[in-house]
Amino acid sequence: MKYEQLAKDIIKNVGGKENVNSLTHCVTRLRFKLKDEKKANTEVLKNMDGVVTVMQSGGQYQVVIGNHVPDVYEDVMVIGGFSTATSDETEQKTGVLNSLIDTISGIFAPALGVLAATGMIKGFNSLFLALGWILPNSGTYQLLNAIGDCFFYFFPIFLGYTAAKKFKLNHFVGMAIGAALVYPALSGLTAGEPLYTLFQGTIIESPVYITFLGIPVILMNYGSSVIPIILATYVASKVEKLFKKIIPDVVKAFLVPFCTLLVVGPLTFIVVGPVATWAGQLLGAGTIALYEFSPIITGLVIGGFWQVFVIFGLHWGLIPLAINNLVTLGYDPILALTFAASFAQTGVVLAIMLKTKNKKLKSLSVPAVISGIFGVTEPAIYGITLPRKKPFILSCIVASIGGAIIGWAGSVMYIMGGLGIFGIPSYVNPKSGLDKGFYAAITSFIIAFILGFVVMYFSKFEDDEVTPENKEEKKEETLVKQEVIGSPLKGKVIALSEVKDEAFSKGVLGKGIGIEPSEGKVVAPADGVLTTLFPTGHAMGITTDNGAEILIHVGMDTVQLEGKYFTPKFKQGDRVKIGDVILEFDKKAIEEEGYSVTTPVVITNSDNYLDVIETDKVNINYKGELLTVVI
């Protein structure tokens, strides 16, 4: 497994596999639902090689990995022994908005990759047709159209599966409901004169062609629909739960799905489907009303805040609206307004890449620009622009201008296609081809890219800004070549190779030294943050203000004491100053229990330094010079 060690470290620092309720992933993030987010070592994860950052939003603990997240996900699933669904998930109170976002993302995230892929095929097919490269009656066009259209047309079946997973319904029951909604023979029943018409003269006027046990059935076109299958699956999950309680175990395997489908199937066609469809039509009309009120203002707001929505996971609220608009209207103007955002971000990062003299920042910028061109901007946002604030703000302003251009021109999306440059075919009008809206969309992202680059290139940012106040400080920084780590204990110094634990003695966890403590007290070896404090109190991690990551592990196998004889004085996340007493432990009692109190002190990110030099002293006092990291 390529990412085996990273997967192990992630599982460990989210609180262990026993703290994980469920795990999914999107384009760049592992999306955990944890039983207790307080058990996760967020700062450790943020500083971990292979992790861009950590976000806590929408009831999810999101570990941002980057473009290779599917491979990391596979290794995490295997090493953690996680199944695709969990049966012991503990419900948490996350608030209405967080619960809604979590539900939407849980249903749509697994399907969006294939939805975008098939949309790209359909979009390119339309583009080739508009350019005259293929003919509408050719086999090439028909075959590509079938491949591109299949997923979206049969979307209820796929959403039946993902919604069933989310609502803890038998997955195949959810798919069966979706399949019934798009069953081809039902569409033929609407030919001829209706039996009668319900709600005549209203916005929801509905002809009735068939009845079920005398009850009128309103037949609608559920191909590509979103809301009906989600609501139907939710209802089915409640019905299934009821039947599971009353049906004997010996016949549950077939009688529970039988009874569930027999109840929910007709109910979906008679009530759930029509009501959900009407609700979808109203949502579509509402979003269009907002857009028509002022497409330019709507573009300024949605375009400008799109990247903020992505950070907090709020963009999931717009994706179902866009899909609903595509179904009910045949196009969507809302997500179209965000098209320029990724290019604005990419232009800003390209300027930083060309301008910065910071080699690490330059190396981070190269893959961020490449992924940004293809619409994946999380590496750029979390790794480069957001930490420096000003570049991120500039990218949002430029994205807002791009959104306003799209709104002014009336550009809309006709398919849910790819991201970045792969999103271009989404703007090809299937009826008129390359129209004004298509060229306006192209113009908007070119302007956003160039404007983002220009405003960033001629702006100062954190890496090159030198003022009279910080000039001397920066000069002094360039002269600093080492950091001295004080001793957290008082006692006898031994070589790390003498520690009776191979993980330490062989340097697997980093370079460092061992101490045979003479007193039961651990003090802060430097100013920094207590980034990790194990619940048992026997081990802790401190990140110094200069970036050194120090692991202090009191004793060998003392985790088995389960916290007995250890008394922490600080809690995880607290700032500490050199000499602060972080932990007290009963040295004598631990030794009487048969455990060694030999304490390794290790720099876990030793690879970031030229060298880690140990003290030559035999005995050392608190805060004495123990280790020197050479920068």
Per-residue HEC secondary structure of 142-196 comes to HHHHHHHHHHHHCHHHHHHHHHHHHHCCCHHHHHHHHHHHCCHHHHHHHCCCCCE
Residues 6+ apart with CB under 8 A from 352: 361, 365, 384, 385, 391, 456, 461, 463
Give the pairing type, strands 539-544 and 528-533.
antiparallel
List, in sequence order, every residue forming a beta bridge with 627; answer none if it has no partner. Answer: 485, 614
How far lies 20's CA from each of 51, 77, 86, 462, in Å?
18, 11, 9, 38
Q: By C-alpha distance, which of 530, 509, 553 is closest to 44?
A: 530
Q: By C-alpha distance, which of 425, 543, 558 is closest to 130?
A: 425
Q: What b/e sequence results for 573-595 when a residue is b if at least 16 CB atoms lie within 10 Å of its CB, and e otherwise? A: eeebebeebbbbbebeebeeeeb
The separation between CA 205 and the C-alpha centre of its own chain, rounded to angstroms, equals: 42
333: its two tokens: 């103007």
308: its two tokens: 């903020």
586: its two tokens: 């009963």
How far lies 623's CA from each of 175, 494, 497, 555, in Å?
64, 17, 23, 20
Instruction: Map tokens 């529970």 to a residue.
Output: 256
Active-site annotation holder among 26, 150, 259, 396? 26
List, in sequence order, every residue forming a beta bridge with 25; answer none if it has no partner. Answer: 30
464: its two tokens: 């090159």
List, in sequence order, every residue forming a beta bridge with 20; answer none if it has no partner. Answer: 34
Does the active-site annotation cover 150? no
How far lies 176's CA from each of 173, 461, 473, in Å?
5, 55, 67
Just list the catalytic residues: 26
